[in-house]
Structure 1
Amino acid sequence: MNFNIISYADAGCELGGSNAVRGGFTQHFNSSAVRSHTAPLKKMFHKFVLFCLCCWGLTGVFGESVSVTEGDSVTLNTNVTEIHKRDTIMWKYGAGKSKIATMSKKKQNNSCDFPDGRFRDRLKLDNQTGSLTITNITSEHAGLYELDISGAKKTLKSFNVSVYARLPVPVISSNSSNCSSSSSSSYCSLVCSVVNVSHVTLSWYTGNSLLSSISVSDLSISLSLLLEVEYQDKNSYSCVINNPISNQTQHLDISQLCHTCSVPSVSLIVVLISVSAAGSLLIVAAVEIFCICKKHRKTVETCEEEITYAETTFYKRNAQKTVRQFIVNFLSICVIGNTLQ
């Protein structure tokens, strides 16, 4: 009986051992299944964290974009309602992260400076929030600004400031050399132009519809854009120059800039022909008079030679008067001819 009991005990131990082994196998199997299900979730979580870190890093590099027109003022906000006593604010500028402004509540002092003096008398710090204001900004103040708040809470922030030149008003002029006309229609060539501009787009509009445009990026150059319209066109046209933050518009007045190409009328042609004919007749008459006078002058010279070398002959008084009168008449005609010549 003892044997049997031992046998049952051994059997029970073996059975228990067998159950223990099965239980351990089942537990191991269940752990592997859980790990196989959670592995993709962990990978997704890691990717999400990495994405957030990358976004945070890119935000720190590129910063918040701020655009401003040259000559205006811009404020870089800290988004802090109030600076605490233990907080210290530091503003940095450029790739070298040069310090341009600091503020400390504890030390109760503010300072604004830059090594090359480009920010002299242009920086202002808000005593309550630490926000930085740049007045009368120019293109040399464009770039990356970094905010560093240290104290009870660490805050880092950056701003990428872009400065655009103030836009000129476009000038519209008529290109009269390209004026053309026909029996059916007549066209006027116009040009819209601006000088010394960069990062702009120049466009022609009719109403709100874009007709044509031209853009320039970094270079400071002059731009011009052509437009051809009919003289009888009643549509409204405008030339617009714009950059990312502002624009200037010039409206077209066709009646002021486009004058109809004139076509000579029949009556005008008749008048011109008549004047030309009359002028030709006058020229012919003048030539005839000149020739006659020249011929008479030769005749008088011949008469004078004959008179000079003729022998002295005495005539009666009446005959002498007749000859003398004839000579005087010829001399008068020749003098008149010389005067006309």
Structure 2
Amino acid sequence: MPVFMKTIRIFDLFFLLRLVGAFDAPREVPVMVGDSVTLDSNASEIERANEVEWRFNDIRIANFIKGDATYHERFKDRLKLDRNGSLTIKDTRITDTGVFKCTVISTRERVERFRVTIYAPLSIPVVTSDTSQCSSSSSSSTCSLLCSVVNVSHVTLSWYKGNSLLSSISVSDLSISLSLPLEVEYQEKNTYSCVINNPIRNQTRHVCITDLCRLCSVPSSNEVHYGEGTEAVIRLVVTALVGVAAVAAFIVLVYDIRSRRVEKDVLKH
């Protein structure tokens, strides 16, 4: 067989596979859990006069033949086919994540694919500080922060300083906990935030460095610091006691003077 004939046949096969959608990557469809989503069959008026079939991970879930629709029991009342054969999924669940395949059957077979990803609601990240990791020098003090989220999937967790991205980590597994550490310099003028996001939404936790890293703002020598603090407290206590004693002595003196005057007045009468 001539080479050009082989080339033509290979081209014809490629064109046929392309026509039925074998080389089409599924369209990405992000959906928030509980929301509804409609997947368009793109069926023309001539095509929808025949048959439109929907499959979820290779399981037939809906069929549309000349206006009559049937549905798989798994989805119960959550599926709806319109007159064009487009599929609406109501009250979406995490288990609805997967590939939906629409086959339009008429004079030729045409395939549409959708990769639907159902995202759970995002909680606001929790940020904690580890004061045992503090480090100090004559010019600066630093402390270690940890941003955490639980039971997440298909998300990215990031640290920002102002609008600048410092670090990030992504995960695609289901229902796991995720943490991202960050060492920061103790300066009030710096604004930090931890952000968790998926393709639909994001949640942000703004961080007050002054509150979280308060214990990291002490001088490098804790022994000296605590010693100086103790001496200062002792001086304050002694001063207060001296003041109280002086006030008490003054009150006693005034009372003694008044008592003597009263006694003199009594003797005169």
Note the 1:259-274 alignment, pairs <5 A.
259-260=214-215, 261-262=217-218, 263-264=225-226, 266=228, 268-269=230-231, 271-272=233-234
SS in 2 for 1:179: strand
Structure number with the higher strand fraction is 2
Contact 2:98–2:116 at 8 Å: present in 1 too? yes
Alignment partners' CA distance in 2, 1:270 and 1:110: 85
Q: Which runs of 5+ in 1 are unaligned?
A: 1-38, 277-341
Residue 133 of structure 2 is matched in structure 1 by 178
Residue 76 of structure 2 is matched in structure 1 by 120
For residues 81-108 of structure 1, give each alpha carbon's deviation from its aligned partner in whole angstroms, at most 9, with x where no partner exists. 547784333323332x324343533xxx
Q: Which runs of 5+ in 2 are unaligned?
A: 219-224, 239-269
Contact 2:48–2:104 at 8 Å: present in 1 too? no
Residue 313 of structure 1 is matched in structure 2 by none
Q: Alpha carbons of 1:156 and 1:191: their partners in 2 closer, same or farther (altered >3 Å)?
A: closer
Residue 130 of structure 1 is matched in structure 2 by 85
Alignment partners' CA distance in 2, 1:190 and 1:227: 5
Q: Alpha carbons of 1:48 and 1:233: their partners in 2 closer, same or farther (altered >3 Å)?
A: farther
Give the TM-score of the pair, scaled to structure 1: 0.56
Q: Alpha carbons of 1:236 and 1:54: their partners in 2 closer, same or farther (altered >3 Å)?
A: farther
Residue 94 of structure 1 is matched in structure 2 by 57
SS in 2 for 1:232: coil
Cα offset for 1:44?
Answer: 4.6
Residue 110 of structure 1 is matched in structure 2 by 69
Note the 1:38-57 alignment, pairs <5 A.
42=5, 44-55=7-18
Q: Alpha carbons of 1:232 and 1:156: their partners in 2 closer, same or farther (altered >3 Å)?
A: closer
SS in 1 for 2:214: coil
Contact 2:36–2:88 at 8 Å: present in 1 too? yes
Contact 1:198–1:219 at 8 Å: present in 2 too? yes
The share of aligned pairs that are identical, in percent, is: 47
For residues 180-213 of structure 1, give each alpha carbon's deviation from its aligned partner in whole angstroms, at most 9, with x where no partner exists. 4333212232111101112322221223433222
Residue 237 of structure 1 is matched in structure 2 by 192
Q: Alpha carbons of 1:114 and 1:134: their partners in 2 closer, same or farther (altered >3 Å)?
A: same
SS in 2 for 1:98: strand
Contact 1:86–1:152 at 8 Å: present in 2 too? no
Structure number with the higher helix fraction is 1
Note the 1:1-341 alignment, pairs <5 A.
42=5, 44-55=7-18, 59=22, 63-80=26-43, 82=45, 86-95=49-58, 97-105=59-67, 109-111=68-70, 113-115=71-73, 117=74, 119-127=75-83, 129-151=84-106, 154-260=109-215, 261-262=217-218, 263-264=225-226, 266=228, 268-269=230-231, 271-272=233-234
The total of aligned residue pairs comes to: 231
Cα offset for 1:226?
Answer: 1.4
For residues 101-144 of structure 1, give each alpha carbon's deviation from its aligned partner in whole angstroms, at most 9, with x where no partner exists. 43533xxx333x324x3x122112222x2211101211222223
Instruction: List structure 1 segments (4+ residues) > 6 angstroms apart after TM superposition.
Output: 273-276
Q: Which amino acid aligns with 1:235?
A: N
Contact 2:33–2:120 at 8 Å: present in 1 too? yes
Cα offset for 1:233?
Answer: 5.0
Contact 2:50–2:106 at 8 Å: present in 1 too? yes
Alignment partners' CA distance in 2, 1:170 and 1:270: 40
Alignment partners' CA distance in 2, 1:246 and 1:76: 21
Alignment partners' CA distance in 2, 1:225 and 1:152: 55
Alignment partners' CA distance in 2, 1:211 and 1:271: 42
SS in 1 for 2:43: coil
Higher Rg of the two aligned structures: 1
Q: Alpha carbons of 1:181 and 1:269: their partners in 2 closer, same or farther (altered >3 Å)?
A: farther
Q: Which amino acid aligns with 2:124?
A: V
SS in 1 for 2:35: coil
Cα offset for 1:176?
Answer: 3.0
Q: Which amino acid aligns with 1:210?
A: L
